[in-house]
Amino acid sequence: MFDKILIANRGEIAVRIIRACREMGIQSVAVYSEIDKDALHTQLADEAVCIGPAQARDSYLDMKRIISAASVTGATAIHPGFGFLSENSKFAKALEECHITFIGPTSEMIDKMGNKAEARRSMIEAGIPVVPGSEGKVSSVEQAKEIANKIGYPVIVKASAGGGGRGMRIVMHSDEFESQFSTAQMEAKNAFGDNSMYVEKYIQNPKHIEFQILADHHGHVVHLGERDCSLQRRHQKVIEEAPSKAITKKLRQKMGETAIKAAKAIEYRNAGTVEFLLDKDQQFYFIEMNTRIQVEHPVTEMVTGIDLIKEQIKIASGKPLFLKQSDIEISGHAIECRINAENPSKGFAPSPGTIEQLHIPGGNGIRVDSAMYQGYTIPPTYDSMIAKLIVYDKDRKSAIGKMKSAIGELIIQGIDTNIDFQYDLLNHKAFIEGRYDTSFIESFLNNQLKA
């Protein structure tokens, strides 16, 4: 087992990983940018190394500085968290070359799945159902349009390098194909430096259902059930829950087996998530695989009792998975609300600033993964997610009741947050009854939902 792990991240996920290390008796090293000198992860880790200025490209995205910090402190493994370098195959490769363990899959696997068009191609080869569309990336707008005309509108054009909901556009009609394609392509070029694109049928009102998998270095793969992440704004998740109300036991088994098959097809290792869209006829389609820990991993931890970060560390150290598929039981219900520093009434504009007053809810089955504390100043430089409020109870109804109670108790003053917005979503009859899909939030914001 590793003696010392460096965490190449910040915010709540860095804190989450530091805690896991501490519980396992592993020393932790934080890296931080100048603006994060008072951040919680900087303070909580056993050691902390400043790696540069606030701009992520000069600190949290600077591989050389991070690798230097690991060698100076004697850390033998790096956990990348999510975002930043977590899905950067060059980083994984650089660590492989420096004999530092990357807590995640190999650079080759990241490459295979990180390019979404390539991932589609591999999954088609492996016999995994994918959304109808181009086989891999398209070579021109003309070819893309030809495919769109063949599969029928609406379609969605997506960036091969895409992530975080960027670089994709829905095209309702062939007239607007060229313009939407070039807008998405431009966005992809700016955001990812890669303008390769692919095309998929746009599935109307689907559920976003993703499966958590764990794979060790000895060919053993298990799934830990699904997360329903259909509550999204601009293709970004807002509330996640496990299990999904839309999934029967039989469908869970089928989708879980498909997720395992997808992982095995690329000889995947460590934690990963296989994302599917589920249509109204209960048909499911692979959309992508995330080769890292996800923001929403706590809901899976709550319903399975398995600590995913610890499993990632154990797997990376070469230990075989002690879990058999038949050992994994899903019980009760968990919900996560992403708490963001943003103002929903101002178009969800980010709201950085100092937290003047803070009260965190507690009690049985309430978990808060956060890096905030009273007096902490949220910098404007990074993501606006400042906390994840997670609840666990015996069933969905009780979990919703518990989340509403916990949200009611949460006080964050000094900045704007989406707490009230989250409460309104949870309070909506359609959500309570489980009648929701990926279009829910947009309809909710446009007052188009029936009570």
1-22 b/e (C-beta count within 10 Å ≥ 16 → b): ebebbbbbbbbbbbbbbbebbe
Burial label for 156, CB within 10 Å (0-12, 13-18, 19+), is buried
- Does the active-site annotation cover 292? yes
Closer CB to ligand ADP, 101 or 258, in the complex: 258
Closer CB to ligand ADP, 165 or 219, in the complex: 165
Tokens of residue 44, six digits: 């909580």
Cβ of residue 312: shortest distance to ligand ADP, in angstroms?
21
HSE of 213, CA atoms in CB hemisphere, 13 A: 31
CA dihedral 340, 341, 344, 346 (to 10 degrees): -150
Cβ of residue 348: shortest distance to ligand ADP, in angstroms?
17
Tokens of residue 5, six digits: 């792990």
Whether 290 and 275 have beta carbons less than 8 Å apart is answered as: yes
Cβ of residue 102: shortest distance to ligand ADP, in angstroms?
21
Closer CB to ligand ADP, 188 or 341, in the complex: 188
Whether 414 and 356 have beta carbons less than 8 Å apart is answered as: yes
Cβ of residue 186: shortest distance to ligand ADP, in angstroms?
16
**40: nearest Cα among 24, 17, 59:** 17
Tokens of residue 89, six digits: 């195959």
Cβ of residue 158: shortest distance to ligand ADP, in angstroms?
6
Report CA-CA distances (Å) from 56 to 32, 95, 354, 380: 10, 19, 21, 12
Cβ of residue 149: shortest distance to ligand ADP, in angstroms?
16
Helical spans, DSSP H, in 266-392: 297-304, 308-316
* Per annotation, catalytic residue among 120, 292, 338, 396: 292
Q: H or E segment at 52? A: strand 47-52
Helical spans, DSSP H, in 224-295: 249-265
Report the distance separating Cα 181 and Cα 122, nearest Å.
Answer: 24
Closer CB to ligand ADP, 71 or 205, in the complex: 205
Closer CB to ligand ADP, 166 or 396, in the complex: 166
According to DSSP, residue 397 is labeled: H
Cβ of residue 154: shortest distance to ligand ADP, in angstroms?
8
Cβ of residue 451: shortest distance to ligand ADP, in angstroms?
24
Question: Judging by DSSP bridges, how do beta strands 77-79 and 101-102 pair with one another?
Answer: parallel
Closer CB to ligand ADP, 69 or 184, in the complex: 184
Closer CB to ligand ADP, 184 or 403, in the complex: 184
- Supply the Cα-derived Rg of the chain in whole angstroms: 21
Report the distance separating Cα 423 and Cα 337, nearest Å.
Answer: 9
Whether 414 and 354 have beta carbons less than 8 Å apart is answered as: yes
Which residues are near ligand ADP by CB under 6 A?
131, 156, 162-165, 200, 202-203, 206, 208, 232, 235, 275, 277, 287-288, 438
> Which amino acid does the sequence have at 249?
K
Closer CB to ligand ADP, 227 or 402, in the complex: 227
According to DSSP, residue 268 is labeled: -
Q: Which residues are known to be catalytic?
A: 292
